[in-house]
A = this chain, B = another copy of it.
């Protein structure tokens, strides 16, 4: 196939995005080529400066805007004084933080672990930022830690590790509920989900 080197390079870079293969990348480029040139230009300018303008929050690991000449980079949630500093929600990834924020139901702050315990992938307790988490809990006078790691093998293992490691701090630890999702058909729920829905039943 006789493709231009520019096209090949752009397709190869776009293929680095999660879930994007060569065909999808090509579709993106063809779309941008036929759309308003301003879109490709603006998108390019934003991406080129991405890492200069956004980086992990020094306090929680959420995405934060870099403020020039500020020694500390903090996210909007950590800076929001209306948030309850005593309620701390621990998540695995920023994606999960965002999913929780979309509910509008979280009035506390967050701590992003960045990874989950995963014996299969060789990620042990020492790879998790537990000392930093413990320091944060102590410094902010946290009274409740909500463990919002996913209800997967790695997520559950991480939750158990946190329970054990943070027990010494005397903080209340809770775990998000797991069960049949909203709108889900019981008929199609897998046995583990159904079992969790039963085990986690609450009085009506």
**Residues in chain A within 8 A of chain B (CB atoms):** 1-7, 9-10, 13-14, 16-19, 24, 26-33, 35, 37, 39-51, 53-56, 63-65, 75-77, 80, 93-95, 98, 101-102, 104
Whether A6 lies near B44 (C-beta < 8 A) is: no
Copies of this chain assembled into the complex:
2
Whether A101 lies near B1 (C-beta < 8 A) is: yes
Q: Cβ of A47: which chain B residues have Cβ within 8 Å of it?
A: 10, 32, 40-41, 43-44, 47
Whether A13 lies near B27 (C-beta < 8 A) is: no
Q: Cβ of A27: which chain B residues have Cβ within 8 Å of it?
A: 18-19, 95
Whether A32 lies near B6 (C-beta < 8 A) is: no
Whether A41 lies near B46 (C-beta < 8 A) is: no
Whether A48 lies near B54 (C-beta < 8 A) is: no
Whether A46 lies near B1 (C-beta < 8 A) is: no
Q: Cβ of A3: which chain B residues have Cβ within 8 Å of it?
A: 63, 76
Q: Cβ of A24: which chain B residues have Cβ within 8 Å of it?
A: 19
| A2, A30, A46, A76 — most chain B CB neighbours (10 Å) | A46
Q: Cβ of A35: which chain B residues have Cβ within 8 Å of it?
A: 16
